[in-house]
Amino acid sequence: MASQTSLRHLPLIACVLAATGANAADTVLTPFKDSAADPPPPWHVVGLPGQNAQSKPFTQFAVVEIDGRKALRVEANLSFGNIVHPVRWTQPTAHLSWQWRVDDLIPKADLTTKQGDDTALKVCVSFDLPLDQVPFVERQLLKIGQSKTTEPVPTANVCYVWDTNLPIGTELDNAFSRRTRYIVLESGPGKLKQWKSEKRDVMADFKRLFADETKTGLPITAVGVGADADNTKTRSVAYVADLVLGP
């Protein structure tokens, strides 16, 4: 039987699939700017299978005003958690744009190891990779993870990371599960407390990172934001604003 640790990143962006996709790019993801304090539905917090506040703290998410704009504040404190927005994006192209800012990094983070697998901030996209295309052992872990949560467990996740040490442009598998694959877009303390703008061709990134399992683009099932500091037993603070998914 797999341990909770081995299932750590299976539900990284677990989501409830929306019945239909939105047509207008600016309405696919509900904006934070119209919210008072709590992130607006259908954004919702997702943890590990079986996680509760007694077993492990959840990363905290709140809508705040900073630098004259509404943004999602993300604070990890010995915690794990992601906030997820379900979508059903079936168009052949997909671009995700956002702005992000990190105020406190995780000094001990090392995404190449399990004990260092924490992120001060990540923006992730989930794809509907058919289960029969997932390698056998990972397929079984997905099934175990699914048995421990009511949230559908995604089969493929691409996560864009603001890391502590790895060089910008680094691409690597998650240390716990190859169902999640990382791209480091920002790194180190040089740009702390500064807003940075990003735009990614997420379908192209997915096809490159998961080329060993599929050659085609797949429906997107969710977009999520997360941070975790449970492995390093530390804390981080960051912000995300203006998340837009479009063709």
User: Within a 10 A sphere around the Cβ of 110, how many other Cβ atoms?
Assistant: 18
Q: How far is CA 109 from CA 4, 161, 165, in A?
A: 20, 12, 8
pLDDT score recorded for residue 27: 60
Whether this prediction's pTM lies above 0.85 is answered by: yes
Which amino acid, residue 156? Answer: A
Q: How far is CA 161 from CA 111, 129, 183, in A?
A: 10, 22, 6
Listed range (24-28, 202-206, 234-238) with the worst mean pLDDT: 24-28
Residue 16 has pLDDT above 60, yes or no: no
pLDDT score recorded for residue 212: 94
CB within 8 A of 17, min separation 6: which ones?
86, 88, 152, 221
Rg (CA), the chain: 16
pLDDT digits (tens, 9 = 90+) for 43-102: 999 998 888 888 899 999 999 999 999 999 999 999 999 999 999 999 999 999 999 999
Domain 5-19+26-231 has CATH 2.10.25: no
Ordered by start, the domain boundaries in the chain are 5-19+26-231
Displacement of CA 223 from its chain's centroid (Å): 7
